[in-house]
Amino acid sequence: MGLEAKKSRHFVAGAAILSAAGILSRVMGLGYRVVLIRLIGAEGMGLYQMAYPLYTIMLVVSRSGIPVTLAKMISERIAREEKKDAYRIFTIARILSVVIGLLAALTMALIARPVISLLRLDPRAYYALLAISPAILVVSIMASFRGFFQGLQDMKPTAISQLIEQFVRMITMISLAYLLLPLGLSYAAAGASFGAFTGAIAGLLLVIYIYYKRREDIFAFLAEDRAVSSLKVRPVLREFFGLGVPITLGALVMPLMSFVDWVFVPQRLQAAGFVMERATTLYGQFTTVAMPLVHFPTIITVSLATSLVPAISEAFAVRDETLIKKRTSTALRLTVMLGIPAAIGLFVLAEPLTGVIFAEPQAASILQITALGVIFITLQQTSSAILQGIGRTDLPAKNLFLGAICNAVINFTLTGIPAFNIHGAALGTVTGFAVAAALNIIYVKKLTGTLVASPARVGYPALSALIMGIAVYFFHPLMLSLSADIFRLSGLVSLTAAVGLGVLLYGFLLIYSGEVGAQELKLIPGVGARISGKLQDWGVL
């Protein structure tokens, strides 16, 4: 089978592949967080999490613009049958990723201690910062290979490498944290941080293996373009940075929001009267309990956004406005259908989720506030991908920056008030994403003529999600009381049953209302066609 024939036939299919891998990867991520928080507690997780804002910022600088920019540039060339130019762009970007990644990794290692001292953070976080810095170089190189395959609209290499990366990372984090715990929480947190490096190495080796295994297909695909690439390095770099810098700045805003939390939350909590250890614990509950649960449903929209950029870029390159509107409308519709029930589900099940999974039920009130942000986060991600696909990479960056300012103001103001404390940070996060999403949607409507969805298309998922939320609210305590007499792990059993009921009920209501049909179900990887066929045989569809 030729390389072009291997491309996903529809961008939603590519998103489905990434989503399946993303869900498994996120389950592993939640798994190691559950083990770690039980192993080193919220205080240790607070130290571990303190390494991430600076790491994420340096990581964004070194690689975030690479896969999206590459995917856009390559998909546009392939749409215009300029295949050798597409490959030339990849070779240049690959070298650039090594240079940028190396500089970013060295910079982080050198500034780690001065930053901790300057911001008056817990000095025990230094070893975690140092341990995670080498991962930046590896992830940067891996991003260039992933961007190449995404430009071909082949999402499988990215999906597989994500799984391997997360699996190795999980094993390393848990093992090193356990082995180093007798030396102190600072060393255990550093051991957990080092997992990012070993996981990245595993992911890079796998994606390189896939690339070399497919070399014959790649070069046969390139041979279809008989023209010789005349692209020079300087024009490629000019276009790359012209597209990539705004994307990087946009991606940089999100870790900057985390950076704001990193700087403000512990200090403002201390200003509100909490001692440093308690402030670190509350920060750990917010960043390692509530926010991972909030970001879990966004796996699908992140995957959708990754698949959407090259798909819209391809349509944009040949000026197919009808296809742009169709793909934009489909992506926004799916986002609404996923974001609303996720927000309601997290709100209703906040206490059992934080208690059963993380053994931190005190974080439930934080989760209930941040759960409302799921709708805005998912819309912001999808709308950003649409704007990037049509070449307006500057708009998501500007809009998210404005959202970050709102987050910072609310965070700084409310977190220092004892009555709000850590809930002020949660409210700031929700508001920041709400502002960014609203501005993005305004520009999407203006530039593509596509609304998020008609009132009916929003109303049906919203009503279905509300019914689901009410059912789960009453079902969970009932199941908890029944399972307590039968199962030892009654909390886990009742939570799993409640989530399962919610998913099945919401899916049934969408199918019953006609919002989801046979074609949508067939896009589910592996089992979609069989489910669709069975439901058609039973007369449901």
pTM here is: 0.69
- Return contacts of 80-86, CB within 8 angstroms, 24+ apart: 80/317, 80/318, 81/225, 82/225, 82/227, 83/221, 83/222, 83/224, 83/225, 84/222, 84/225, 84/227, 84/228, 84/229, 85/229, 85/231, 86/151
Q: What pLDDT score does 235 carry?
A: 79
Look at residue 221 in the predicted model and tell me its pLDDT.
64
Greater pLDDT, 378 or 263: 378
pLDDT tier at 263 (50, 70, 90 boundaries)?
confident
Higher confidence at residue 399 or residue 214? 399
Of the chain, the percentage scoring pLDDT greater than 90 comes to 8
What confidence score (pLDDT) does residue 537 get? 64
Q: Are 232 and 358 contained in the same domain? A: yes
Q: What pLDDT was estimated at residue 1?
A: 41
Q: How many CB atoms lie within 10 A of CB 304?
A: 28
pLDDT in tens, 450-463: 665 555 567 778 88
What's the average model confidence in pLDDT over 455-476?
83
476 Cβ contact partners less than 8 Å away, ≥ 6 residues apart: 348, 349, 352, 494, 495, 497, 498
Of the ranges 124-138, 301-315, 366-380, which one carries the lowest mean pLDDT score? 301-315
From CA 428, how far away is CA 189, in angstroms rounded? 27
| Together in a domain, 434 and 481 | no
397 plus 463 within the same structural domain: no
- 7 — pLDDT class (breaks 50, 70, 90): very low
Of 377, 428, 55, 400, give the one whose Cα is nearest residue 268: 428
- Quickly count: other Cβ atoms within 10 Å of residue 176's Cβ: 21
DSSP-derived 3-state class of residue 242 = helix
- 36 CB-near residues (< 8 Å, 6+ apart): 44, 45, 48, 173, 174, 177, 192
* Phi-psi group of 336: left, alpha or beta (phi > 0 → left; psi -120 to 50 → alpha; rest → beta): alpha
Cα 516 from Cα 533, distance rounded (Å): 14
pLDDT at 8 over 50: no
- Determine the residue type at 337: M
Arithmetic mean of pLDDT over the chain: 79
Taking the CA of residue 390 as centre, how many other CA atoms within 13 Å lie in the half-sphere pointing to its CB? 23
Give dist(CA 346, CA 426) in Å, integer.
14
CB 23 within 8 A of CB 161: no
Is residue 91 predicted with pLDDT exceeding 90? no
In this structure, the answer to whether residues 203 and 338 fall within a common structural domain is yes
Q: Which pLDDT belongs to residue 522?
A: 56
pLDDT of residue 479: 77
Q: What is the pLDDT of residues 404-452, one digit of tens each?
A: 889 889 888 888 888 888 888 889 889 999 999 999 989 888 887 766 5
Comparing 45-54, 360-369, 481-490, which segment has the lowest mean pLDDT?
481-490
Exposed, middle or buried: residue 46 (CB in 10 Å: 0-12, 13-18, 19+)?
A: buried
Q: Which of 397, 424, 453 is the last residue of a domain?
A: 453
Q: Please give the biggest Cα pair distance in the chain.
A: 74
pLDDT in tens, 515-535: 766 665 655 555 556 666 666
Whole domain around residue 519: which residue ranges?
A: 456-541
Shared-domain flag, residues 35 and 107:
yes
Q: State how far the Cα of 378 lies from the Cα of 382, in Å rounded to an integer.
A: 6
Residue 291, pLDDT score? 85
Going from the C-alpha of 252 to that of each of 53, 54, 154, 299, the distances in angstroms are 10, 11, 26, 19
Q: What is the number of structural domains in the chain?
A: 2
- 435 shares its domain with 474: no
- Residues 6 or more apart whose CB falls under 8 angstroms from that of 157 comprise 145, 146, 149, 207, 210, 211
Among the candidates 453, 481, 499, a domain finishes at: 453
Helix then strand count (H, E) for the chain reads 24, 0
Q: What angle do CA 167, 169, 174 make, to 5 degrees?
A: 100
pLDDT band at 343 (very low <50, low <70, confident <90, very high): very high
pLDDT at 315 over 80: no
Q: What are phi and psi of 425, to 5 degrees?
A: -65, -40
Whether the per-residue pLDDT at 290 is higher than 60: the answer is yes
pLDDT of the residue at 4: 41
Place of tokens 């509107």: 325
190 and 73 both lie in a single domain = yes
CB of 350 within 8 A of CB of 365? yes
Q: Which residue has the tokens 């001065």?
A: 114
- Model confidence at 34: pLDDT above 60: yes
- Separation between Cα atoms, residue 421 and residue 323, nearest integer Å: 48
Boundary (domain end) residue, out of 453, 483, 503: 453
Indicate if 220 and 264 belong to the same structural domain.
yes
Tell whether the model's pLDDT for residue 483 goes beyond 80: no
Q: Tell whether the model's pLDDT for residue 99 goes beyond 70.
A: yes
pLDDT band with cut points at 50, 70 and 90 for residue 14: low
Predicted confidence at residue 445, as pLDDT, reads 85
Contact 267, 61 (CB under 8 A): no
**461 and 416 housed in the same domain:** no
- Are 361 and 485 in a shared domain? no
Pair 530, 423 in one domain: no
Q: Please tell me the predicted confidence (pLDDT) of residue 9.
A: 45
pLDDT of 201 reads 94
Q: What is the pLDDT of residue 13?
A: 63
As given in the structure block, the two tokens for residue 156 are: 């499988």
DSSP state of 204: H
CB distance 338 to 462 below 8 Å? no
Region 225-247: mean pLDDT is 71
The predicted pLDDT at position 481 comes to 74
104 and 75 in a single domain? The answer is yes
